[in-house]
Every structure is written in C-alpha cells, then in structure tokens.
Amino acid sequence: MQRFEIYLKENLPHVKSFHPIYEDALGAMLDAGGKRFRPMLLLSIVEAYEPLLYESALPVALSLEMFHTYSLIHDDLPAMDNADLRRGHPTLHKRYDEVTAILAGDALNTDAFYLIAKAPLREDVKIKLIELLALNGGSRGMVLGQALDCYFEKTPLTLEQIKELHINKTGKLVAASLQMGAVIVGLEKSLQEEIYAFGIDLGLLFQIQDDIIDETQDEREAGKTTGNDTDKNSFVNLLGLDESIAQADALAQDLQRRFEAFDVKMQQALKPLMDQYLYRHR
C-alpha cells in the first residue's frame, strides 16, 4: 500500500482561500494515517486481475478513504460519539472546532464523488462506481447504520437488530469497496455479488472486533477513544466479551472457508488482508 500512501499524500485536498485553517482541516484526518482497509480491498482486486489499471484505480481508492474519513469526522462529533482521539491524533473538532469539523466532513463526502468522476476510467464504469458508493454509503447504507446507532443508543436491541445496524454502518462500505474493485476489472456479475456478500460479513466481523478492542484496549493501544460504548448497542454489551470473541471466531472461520473457495486471483488479492485482519481480535 506504499503506492497508495504516496498517492494520498500527493493528492490531499488543496483549496486556496483566505480562510486560515480550512485547507489544513480538509487534509488533517486523511494525513493522520489509518488502516486504509477499504482502499486496500479495492486495489488488491485491481492488482490481482488487471494490474495495468492500478494507476487508474488510485483516485477511486482515495475516494473511498475520503468518504470513510468524512464518516469518522462526523462520528466523533459531540452530537454523536463525542470522541477526543482518532488515529492517534486529536479529533478534528478538538483540533479546530465543531463547525470546521462538520464542514470538512461535508467537503470530503462530496469530493469523494468528484474524484471518481475525474478518474481515468470508462464513463459507464465511473457511473457504476458512483452508484455503488452512494447506495452503500448514503441513506440506504452507512448513514442508516449511523442513524440506528444514535437513535437507539440507550435502547437495547436484539442480536439481529444489532447485526442489521452494523451491516449498514460498517459492512456495506466494506462490501462496496470489494465490489468497486470488481467493477473496475470487469468481473462477472455473479462474482461481484459473491464478493459483495463476502464483504458484508467481513465488515460485520470488523465491527465485532472493534467492539472487543473497545472493551480490551486503552486509547494508546487502539489509537482512538475507547470505553465509549457503555450506552451503545455493541456486541460486547449484548453478548459479553467471551461470547463476542466466540462470535468473531465463528465468523472468521466461515470467511476463511468462503475465501478458500474463490479463484486463485481472488485468493491472491485477499490473502494479505485475511492474514492481517481475520483474527485481529485475538
């Protein structure tokens, strides 16, 4: 991912104006690091199937990181999680102020679609990519998950409701990252659907792992505010730590089985990520 990291740093938002902090705020959380998980999913598929399209896919990968970063900036706001730390740095509203954080998030959200529109790819491919990001990141996906999370913060939900919440909040954007890579390289629709379903469960695993990390790690280890889930519908709050770990183990084992059924190129694409993230809750 070094190529992506270089590309990101060379393409941080640049908007010249007389505003003293606006441009810095746009790039601060992008430049603060992070796992780059969603860009990695997309670029890994492109590199495995059509490596000549890697450079053309970089703007799309950056658009995913921009969109994800906007969601983190807004998620950390006092009206939502009221977090002080993200990616090992002060959250944007702490570093600047709430208005700046809200507007920087708004800008990154919108600019994500601009990046896809300007990417050196076929027009029909770009339209499909914009559709997938909007569908999975907007009112039918990530935003729905956030709305459920906030509205029911102090109302206990069932396990199935919690899964629905987190499939929308986390799973759909992870799944979209995989499918967007598949669209760029022109994989058959059946394989796109299969990899999307795989991504939904991968995102769900990611969320269970995050809930476990929130319970077991301090802020220094996690690189973000922890202990914030007391009133939230987390897997740990519903199931307890041991059962949450058992759920994560079972989902990881199922994903491993499905991963081994993919073709050689898909396995090649996803193996480093599977090795790194499948059991990160352990």
Q: Which residue has the tokens 């396995």?
A: 267
List pLDDT tens digits, range 84-96.
Answer: 999 889 999 999 9
pLDDT-derived band at 1 (thresholds 50, 70, 90) equals confident
Q: What 3-state class would DSSP assign to 76?
A: coil
- Under DSSP, the state recorded for 167 is I
Domain assignment present for 170: yes
**CA 85 → CA 52, 104, 223, distances in Å?**
38, 17, 7
C-alpha–C-alpha distance, residues 130 and 133, integer Å: 5
pLDDT above 90 (res 111): yes
CATH number of the structural domain spanning residue 34: 1.10.600.10
pLDDT above 80 (res 225): no
Q: Which residues of 55-64 are buried (b: 16+ CB within 10 A; e: fewer)?
A: ebbbbbbbbb
C-alpha–C-alpha distance, residues 67 and 173, integer Å: 9
Which residues contact residue 251 at a Cβ distance below 8 angstroms, ignoring those fewer than 6 apart?
201, 204, 205, 208
SS3 string, 171-237, reads HHHHHHHHHHHHHHHCCCHHHHHHHHHHHHHHHHHHHHHHHHHHHHCCHHHHCCCCCCCCCCCCHHH
pLDDT-derived band at 260 (thresholds 50, 70, 90) equals very high
How much is the pLDDT for 220? 63
Mean pLDDT confidence for 123-152: 97
Q: Distance of alpha carbon 131 from its chain centroid, rounded?
A: 17
Domain that holds residue 152: 2-277
pLDDT above 90 (res 186): yes
Domain assignment present for 15: yes
Q: φ, ψ for residue 85 (rounded to 5)?
A: -135, 140
Domain assignment present for 194: yes
SS3 of the chain: helix, strand, coil, percent, to 5: 70, 0, 25
Domain assignment present for 161: yes
The chain-wide mean pLDDT, for the chain, equals: 94
- Whole-model pTM above 0.75? yes
Point out which residues pair with 86 in neighbouring strands.
89
pLDDT-derived band at 77 (thresholds 50, 70, 90) equals very high
How much is the pLDDT for 232? 81
C-alpha–C-alpha distance, residues 260 and 127, integer Å: 32
277: enclosing H helix or E strand: helix 264-277
List pLDDT tens digits, range 196-222.
Answer: 999 999 999 999 999 999 998 866 655
pLDDT above 60 (res 224): no
How much is the pLDDT for 190? 97
pLDDT above 90 (res 141): yes
**What is the number of residues in the chain?**
282
List pLDDT tens digits, range 40-51.
Answer: 999 999 999 999
How much is the pLDDT for 146? 96
How much is the pLDDT for 38? 96
As for how many domains the chain has, the answer is 1
Domain assignment present for 71: yes
Domain assignment present for 282: no
pLDDT above 80 (res 174): yes
